[in-house]
């Protein structure tokens, strides 16, 4: 399983679970988002949902993210999405 260095991923319980379930944990290098293929999707999410926002409640943010994901999945080839997505290069 490939993980970034998010602190919960480094917790001893995660490592114990992996050992007990025959799972090898492989951590990406620190400050190396480029090998993580999900990273190119966070830029558009920030731009289209978070930029300039001020959600009163976490629930409102969650609903906005869900609406964005529905829109994003229906419009995956739109130039505006691809332009933002391509700002982060994935190797």
Q: What is the pLDDT of residue 87?
A: 73
Residue with tokens 């992996």: 18
CB 62 within 8 A of CB 21: no
Residue with tokens 């409102």: 60
Q: What is the pLDDT of residue 32?
A: 67
Residues 6+ apart with CB under 8 A from 84: 43, 44, 47, 48
CA distance 4 to 89: 17
Residues 6+ apart with CB under 8 A from 44: 72, 81, 84, 85
pLDDT along the chain (91 residues), means of 10: 84 94 88 68 85 92 93 83 70 48
Residue with tokens 């090898």: 24
């Amino acid at each position: 399983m490939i993980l970034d260095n998010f602190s919960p991923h480094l917790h001893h319980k995660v490592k114990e679970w992996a050992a007990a379930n025959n799972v090898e944990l492989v951590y990406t290098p620190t400050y190396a988002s480029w090998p993580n293929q999900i990273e190119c999707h966070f830029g558009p999410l920030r731009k289209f949902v978070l930029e300039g926002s001020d959600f009163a409640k976490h629930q409102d943010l969650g609903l906005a993210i869900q609406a964005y994901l529905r829109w994003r999945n229906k419009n995956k080839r739109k130039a505006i999405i691809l332009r933002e997505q391509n700002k982060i290069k994935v190797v």
